[in-house]
Amino acid sequence: MITVDKVTVGYGTTGFIKAVDEVSLTINDNEILGIAGESGSGKSTLMRAVYGDFSTGLRIQSGTVTGRFEDARTGKVIEAPSSQFAPLWWDQLSYIPQGSMSVLNPLMKIEAQVVDGLPARERQGGSRALRQRIAEFLAGFGLEETVLDAYPHQLSGGMRQRVLVAIAAFVNPRLILADEPTTALDVVVQKKILLMMVEIQRRQRNSLVLVSHDLGVHYQITDRLVIMYQGRIVEQGPTAEVFANPQHDYTKNLIASLPRLHGKRAVEVVGAPA
């Protein structure tokens, strides 16, 4: 699906600030790939480079990101570097950005925003038939048709996020990139959204990349896990393996720092940063 080969990505037009440092990685067909790491580890930058959104001053300094997409209808295979992905957005690949709570336009009803992003072929049957199809798709995730007539502020944060996930999946893209899709949501809503994302992936047999700093989330839903630290990948492997047998010190640290619900509760006071 996507091959990332020794890519170094950063920002800046005059200088260059490196955010991702010689990273290599493969995104396979039909899998959920998790990317973990703390803020500033380069996970969002890597996502943007894979999505091919260079509008924010993002620059690939060296290495390549290439994608191979097969059009389900025509069977035509498209192979291209990520800088040429823009025509494929919302068709072959969709992106659920960080803080998507606020990416919806407050002045437009949900329906108009959904339709706005769809490729032309989806609109061929006329707007009523399209609405019908969108409503049916939403119903599959327990969302009522009335959300289409709502303005974003009329929906709760969790509801908005579910709508966004549904929009991203509606055109049956081959790759969905989700950047911290459940951060700042409470656990009950988070669980609903994660289950919805897994169901979409299993149904559509596409690839889902999930960026999160929450290792618990990765343990639950990802098939493979990549750990990033300071712009580099320090460890990757099948999720269960990484948890059962972490190799890198940083991964061990991350796993050890997870609070547990049962058992030992004794508080060890960790020293403050020097």
Partner 1 sequence: MTGAPILEVQNLTRAYRKGGLFGGSSFKAVDDVSFTLPAEPQVFSIVGESGSGKTTIARMILRLVEPSEGSIRLLGRPLSGKSSDRIDNTEFRRLVQPIFQNPFEAFSAYLPVEFYLRRTALNLKIARTDAQAVEATDLALKSVGLSYERIRGKYIRQFSGGELQRISVARALIPKPKLIVADEPVSMVDASLRMSIVNLFRQIVEEQGVSFIYITHDLSTAYYLSDQVSIMNTGRVVESGAPTRILDNPTQAYTRELMAAIPTVGQRWGELAEIDRKFGYADTRQKSASTHQTINHNAQCDRRKP
Confirm or reject binding of residue 255 to partner 1 (CB under 8 A): yes
- 109 lines the binding site for partner 1 (CB under 8 A): no
The yes or no reply on residue 117 touching partner 1 (CB under 8 A) is no
Q: What's the farthest any 2 CA atoms get from each other in the chain?
A: 64
- For position 29 contacting partner 1 by CB under 8 A, the verdict is no
User: Of residues 206-245, which lie at the interface with partner 1 (CB under 8 A)?
Assistant: 213-217, 219-221, 223-224, 229-230, 232-243, 245
Strands 224-229 and 232-238, how do they pair? antiparallel
Report DSSP letters for 54-71, one per residue: -TTSEEEEEEEEEEEEE-
Q: Please tell me the number of Cα atoms within 13 Å of 191 on its side-chain side.
A: 2
Closest separation in Å from C-beta 40 to partner 1: 7
Give the separation between CA 4 and CA 167, rounded to whole angstroms: 26
Rounded CA separation 132/171 (Å) = 14
Closest CA to 25 of 13, 33, 17: 33
**34, 153, 158, 171: which one contacts partner 1 (CB under 8 A)?**
158
Q: Which helix (H) or strand (E) holds 190?
A: helix 187-204
Query: CB-wise, 172 or 247, nearer to partner 1?
Result: 247
Q: Whole-number minimum distance, CB 26 to partner 1, in Å? A: 10
Quick check: 161 binds partner 1 (CB under 8 A)? no
Residues in the chain: 274
Q: Is 198 in the site for partner 1 (CB under 8 A)?
A: yes
Residues near partner 1 (CB under 8 A)? 31, 38-40, 156-158, 184-191, 194-195, 198-199, 202-203, 213-217, 219-221, 223-224, 229-230, 232-243, 245, 247-250, 253-255, 257-262, 265, 267-274
